Chains A and B, each alone.
Chain A
């Protein structure tokens, strides 16, 4: 077993330990305050913890599966996210071909490009090629009603759900001196920091939250939650610097960057939900909502994290 594998296993075991602790706390809270399931907040908390077990299991399997595992897992996430996003767009009957192409051509091609590691193409495939070709497919249907809105929404959906999500597995491509074979750990670090930031914002917000940050966008977000969550997640990211190619101080800066981006991503995606009059993007993940509800922060953090790392640490 390589050192990278050993580190990965200890990370997974560590997360498992955290989940055991969380489940114990959730169970105790449930017994104390919601013995008959009448406390919605605690029931939701326990739903979330149970869903986390599944998500961590999926991630752990993907990480242990290496490159194929990670790419397939995030391709599935992209598919589910795109399905949720397109559902809320104005895409009409006239866009049927465009939608089919988005799901069955653009998405697989993007992840295939990541698979073969063709950076020069996967970095521009959706922003350039699809950007220009997609409106052509739609215009051929001859429906002009809401045309700009329709194509803009579909392009946004593809950027968020496919392009951005694909930048998580793209981290496997970076060749960082002295870090060979450990790129999966970089992905694990990014996901851990960003998701922990979400969780800790929720926890700090529930414990100390007073001042609402953006009541119109997301009633549950508070200043206390944001500060507490971002700082504590960054502290954990710093403590996990050994997973990354970064020095501890660099890891702290990176962690702060991705937590802030993740927070902003959550706000942006909330604004879209409010605009469309829905509470959650979907219902696939019990307690959390849809895939996008869970991915929103990663989506915003991943491409920037990828490019900053690539710019400062990548060899090639």
Chain B
């Protein structure tokens, strides 16, 4: 009974939020590369400049897709206080992931932080720091690539930070159990994550932010697993995801920050899943950093053609290609003075 009321409230709150977002931004979707009527499972990866980014993507998706599209977000932000918890997990059904570097999952998160420039960027509301090492996916139908979801007796892989009442865990469709259980496929993936990250040109691994000595071949499976497993499970359960591969909100004059490697690992793990670049235009002006009141300006959300990892494509090449595909959706800068 209470659950029903809450669900009803969540639906209404979702309507109110999207109505408000539309009133402020008159957001216009541009379906440049995908057909919105086609009901496919996708990972939408977008430029990230504002806390409202995922709301705008969510708002333009047709209702059918909307219901199963989950933004990947930081648990530390969305679990603070009952309101955020309600909005994050029940209205948007966000996939909440712990990202405070901690004893266990610190490896994954810490590495993300190191990539962010070792300056320990303040956590964004959206799960930005995570995707780098976290993204991992499991399309439900192509069984070839994905290991079968889990032996159910898998050891608990829940990262220590994830509170027991992680909202996801209460959901009836129960992605988080899957998340935990899918961990066994992890070790190899983790190894590859670790090793490729070690060679990453973006940021040397093993900065102070993380426990440095994660041996490439023998990382404790747990650390990197938590978030990755969660995302994989969410995809495995049929959800689509919204991620921000820049890893943090872009506050610079550059149009797009370098990508973290998470997108690559995702593409490698599930070559079948559609990675759809999404350019969000103008929202950074609507709600710049530190602003509380959004200013009404017109926004556009452009969806490009889906991407997949090519055969024998290495990380740098793939991330470059993905980034270019996203930038290609951005308006040419000569428009304004």
Contacts and interface: CB of A to CB of B under 8 A. Distances in A.
B337 A79 contact: no
Given A83-B26, A91-B285, A93-B285, A276 B295 contact: no
Given A90-B337, A283-B28, A83 B296 contact: yes
Contacts of A284: 26
A21 interface: no
A103 B336 contact: no
- The contact size tier of chain A is 20 to 34
Contacts of B296: 79, 82-83, 86, 103
A92 B293 CA distance: 15
A276 B335 contact: yes
Given A90-B337, A283-B28, A284-B26, A100 B293 contact: yes
Interface in A72-92: 79-80, 82-84, 86-92
B295 A100 contact: yes
Nearest to A92: B285
Interface in B284-324: 285, 288-289, 291, 293, 295-298
B165 interface: no
A144 to B, nearest CB: 15
A99 B295 contact: yes
Contacts of B26: 80, 83, 282-284
Given A83-B298, A93-B288, A88 B293 contact: no
Interface string A257-298: 000000000000000000011100011100000000000000
The DSSP consensus for interface residues of chain B is loop
A284 B28 CA distance: 9
Contacts of A82: 296
A87 B337 contact: no
Contacts of A54: none
A146 B336 CA distance: 12
A93 B282 CA distance: 11
Contacts of A283: 26, 28
Contacts of B39: none
A146 B337 CA distance: 9
A96 B335 contact: no
A231 B133 CA distance: 69
Nearest to A80: B26
B37 interface: no
Residue among A79, A87, A277 with the most chain B CB within 10 A?
A: A87
Given A87-B282, A96-B288, A282-B26, A276 B293 contact: no
Contacts of A89: 336
Contacts of A99: 295, 297
Interface in A57-109: 79-80, 82-84, 86-93, 96, 99-100, 103-104
Interface of B: 26, 28, 282, 285, 288-289, 291, 293, 295-298, 334-337
Interface of A: 79-80, 82-84, 86-93, 96, 99-100, 103-104, 146, 149, 276-278, 282-284
6 contacts: A82-B296, A86-B296, A86-B297, A87-B298, A282-B298, A283-B26
